[in-house]
Amino acid sequence: MKTHASLVVLLGCLALAACSEPPAAPGADGSASTASSSALRGKVTSIAGPEAGVWVIAETRDLPTRFARSVVTNDAGEYLIPDLPAAQYDVWVRGYGLVDSAKVQAEPGATLDLAATVAPDAASAAEYYPAGYWMSLLQVPDATQFPGTGATGNGIHPNIKQQADFVRLIGSGGCIVCHQIGNKATRTLPALFNGYDSSAAAWARRIQSGQAGAFMTRTLTSMGLEATTRMFGDWTDRIAAGELPPMPQRPTGKERNVVITQWDWADPTAYLHDVVSTDRRNPTVNGYGKLYGSLEESHDYLPVLDPVTHSIDRVPLTMLDPEAPPVPTPQLAESPYFGTENIWDSKANVHNPMFDQDGRLWITARVRDRENPAWCQQGSTHPSAVAYPLEGNGRQLGLYDPASGEYKHVDTCFGTHHLMFAEDADNTLWTSGGGQVIGWLNTRQYLATGDYQAAQGWTPFILDTNGNGQRDAFNKPGETDASKDTQILPGFGFYAVNPAPDGSVWGSILGFPGAVARLVPGSDPATTALTEYYELPLGPDGTPVEGFSPRGMDIDREGVAWVALASGHLASFDRRKCTGPLSGPQATGQHCPEGWSFFTEPLPQYQNLSTSGSVESSYFTWVDQFDALGLGANTPVNTGNQSGALLALDDGEWVRMIVPYPLGFYTKWMDGRIDDAAAGWKGRGIWATYSSRAPFHMETGKGATSIVYHFQVRPDPLAE
């Protein structure tokens, strides 16, 4: 087992807040002479002196829903929590190298000095570390064990050809796509799994639990059930025996300017996926207005938060076909949290919401069962069906108008997953999730006529492999006629979907090594759209040059794609850097490695890996095109699922916007809104929601609901 003598020494060093930076000169990081009547201010000290870079948290249940706000102390240990609603608050200190201080009750307007508690030992301090630090203790099978040799060999599935693909499936290509790993709930084994011969056997049983048991079992089986359960069992055994992760660095620099506000919403059995606050193209839409969420497979309502009144509500959802069966499948085995109760019952299966320019809410939602109506299929006269008929899909569209309270079903021939508006006169709504096709809705036309059949279209993904600059007859997958173009992406197709300012539409491609693609619609997208395809670079031996396997992505105002990778990187792809042809027989994926750049996310790497990257594996990248956060336009922000944070790349440096409480923050999307451009930092910020399938994995345990978070960056740690 590792020794931690150096860690114990660092505990004292962190408590003194003197390891990485000297005390600032008076006023160097802000000062506040008199707090307003809505603020709390004071100083945090411990037996070691002032505590810099620790969090002060104020929480109340006196408002219509639970409300909390956290800030970070400056170099002198001073804090200021601004703009607290009138209520009685519990206030306490949390920080690396500490254990939680006693909670003190206070009301806004008070000056409240707080006594921090230095952790008595390294193990106590580590209880507050983000999940990714604990996850970095996982010992991934050595690179020499790939390709796998199956159940009769090393237990790794023979389809897993190299270590990087195995890492992908641990991260955002599999396990971490659903929930955080390394928090208290996952690094320990609940009592329900006691009595097994080994921790590996307990893990084999554990993954069958709850509503996502079938997905977890399929994922680990695809990796090799024996090898993965042995790996996770060894990890939990070593942690139970006292092995500890490395210590995180306390917030520094701009990280100390972060203010995080949170509200509870939804219910304890609801799984939130996304939250929306404004129009992606104009973040001043819906200023100070209500926010809406999507519950995906769990329940059939949209959760609503009014951040002005601190109140929550619900919008019930209906089906075009009320006889359609629910989406969730019965659980495989008993859950340690909910027993044998099937806690999910959704039919609508809402995934992703988006506001339009007039404050209407569009969602990817199921409205019927899978089989498409006749007007989508072979023999239809619909222009897109003539070009490429579709037999079925698993999710369509819905439209909710907050002004009227009306919810409409928008049946589509193509499947939907994510959605985003283009910057065009038709306010075209592009969607991902169509598998072999990408679909769109002309919302101007639909809103004027109510005819969703005429307003929609779809097209397959076609590479211009014959290089003549136009779309021709194309090869289906497996066909090789060199005179034709070539259809690609017959599986999931686009995952993320991102219309760019130049009229093109980008998307991320899941898998290994994965790719990004750019679709140019042309004059008649059903018959003219062409796709460019750019894979993550591989070396001559087929191993990644650096990063691999995208999940979510976004586009900046310059047309640069930013994408979160399962390898623990943020990557950018700039097609302006490509030196070779972008179409033709050679442009089939590995033709522009020079377009890629990589930025390692700020967590340690797995054990047994010598490659770059980290255990982070962010789910999504969102680009702050219009400076809603205050770090500058075009700032890319990763979801930081293993860091318990949003991760902003600010001029090449990471700014970790860490959520200190409750531990376990995990989001899949964010939305930047400018409520009032004249109000400085107070009038802007990023919104996110708790998006894990398991809200009961947070430190607050069973009974916890999802949470809405508002991230803001002020000019200094004491700014009001």
What pLDDT, in 10s, does the model give residues 619-654? 999 999 999 999 999 999 999 999 999 999 999 999
Q: Domain ends where: 126, 147, 165?
A: 126
- What are the φ and ψ backbone dihedral angles of 239, each rounded to 5 degrees? -65, -45
Q: Domain ends where: 105, 126, 147?
A: 126
Number of other CB atoms surrounding residue 325 within 10 Å: 8
On whether residue 136 sits in a domain, the answer given is yes
Q: Does residue 170 carry a pLDDT above 50?
A: yes
Q: Which of 324-328, 414-418, 427-431, 447-451 has the lowest mean pLDDT?
A: 324-328
On whether residue 552 sits in a domain, the answer given is no
Are 230 and 149 in the same domain?
A: yes
Hey, what are 85's tokens?
């609603």
Are 149 and 275 in the same domain?
A: yes
Q: What is the CATH number of the domain that holds 68?
A: 2.60.40.1120
> Three-class SS string for 100-166?
CCCCEEECCCCECCEECEECCCHHHHHCCCCHHHHHCCCECCCHHHCCCCCCCCCCCCCCCCCHHHH
- What are the φ and ψ backbone dihedral angles of 616, each rounded to 5 degrees? -60, -65
Between CA 548 and CA 559 the distance in angstroms is 21
Q: Domain ends where: 126, 159, 193?
A: 126
Output 12 or 676, whichever has higher pLDDT.
676
On whether residue 43 sits in a domain, the answer given is yes
Q: What is the CA radius of gyration of the chain?
A: 25
Buried b (16+ CB within 10 A) or exposed e, 126-163: bebbbbbbbbbbbebbeeebbebeeeeebbbbeebbbb
Are 522 and 530 within 8 A, CB to CB?
yes
Are 26 and 85 in the same domain?
A: yes
Are 56 and 168 in the same domain?
A: no
Are 194 and 68 in the same domain?
A: no
**Sign of the alpha-carbon dihedral angle for 621, 657, 710, 635:** negative
Q: Does residue 21 carry a pLDDT above 50?
A: no
Hey, what are 95's tokens?
């920080």
Are 176 and 224 in the same domain?
A: yes
Are 150 and 93 in the same domain?
A: no
**Tally of structural domains, the chain:** 2
Q: What is the mean pLDDT of residues 97-120?
A: 98
Predicted pLDDT of residue 35: 52
DSSP track, 235-265: HHHHHHTT--PPPPPPP-GGGGGEEEEEEEE
On whether residue 233 sits in a domain, the answer given is yes
On whether residue 484 sits in a domain, the answer given is no
- For helices 225-240 and 199-206, the axis angle rounded to 10 degrees is 120
Hey, what are 208's tokens?
């069958």
Between CA 47 and CA 11 the distance in angstroms is 13
Between CA 119 and CA 100 the distance in angstroms is 9
Predicted pLDDT of residue 133: 98
Are 249 and 325 in the same domain?
A: yes
On whether residue 644 sits in a domain, the answer given is yes
Q: How confident is the model at residue 672 (pLDDT cuts 50, 70, 90)?
A: very high
Between CA 172 and CA 178 the distance in angstroms is 8
Between CA 115 and CA 48 the distance in angstroms is 11
Interacting residues of 352 by C-beta distance below 8 A, sequence separation 6+: 273, 274, 294, 363, 364, 417, 418, 419, 669
Regarding pTM above 0.85, the answer is yes
Q: What is the mean pLDDT of residues 313-331?
A: 92
On whether residue 451 sits in a domain, the answer given is no
- For helices 163-170 and 213-223, the axis angle rounded to 10 degrees is 170
Are 62 and 122 in the same domain?
A: yes
Are 152 and 284 in the same domain?
A: yes
Average pLDDT, the chain: 94
Are 146 and 56 in the same domain?
A: no
Among the listed residues 264, 278, 200, the one whose alpha carbon sits nearest the alpha carbon of residue 64: 264
Q: What is the mean pLDDT of residues 687-706?
A: 96
Hey, what are 221's tokens?
């089986």
Q: What is the mean pLDDT of residues 247-266?
A: 98
User: Hunting for tokens 């240990």 — which residue is that?
Assistant: 77
Predicted pLDDT of residue 29: 36
Are 165 and 212 in the same domain?
A: yes
Residue ranges making up the domain that contains 23:
5-126
DSSP track, 347-390: SS-B--EEE-TTS-EEEEE--S-SBPPGGGSTT--SHHHHHS--
Among the listed residues 311, 313, 314, 315, the one whose alpha carbon sits nearest the alpha carbon of residue 65: 311
Q: Does residue 17 carry a pLDDT above 90?
A: no
Percent of the chain with pLDDT over 70: 95
On whether residue 512 sits in a domain, the answer given is no
Q: What is the mean pLDDT of residues 539-551?
A: 96
Q: Does residue 24 carry a pLDDT above 60?
A: no
Predicted pLDDT of residue 530: 97
Model confidence over 490-539: pLDDT tens digits? 778 999 999 999 999 999 999 999 999 999 999 999 999 999 999 999 99
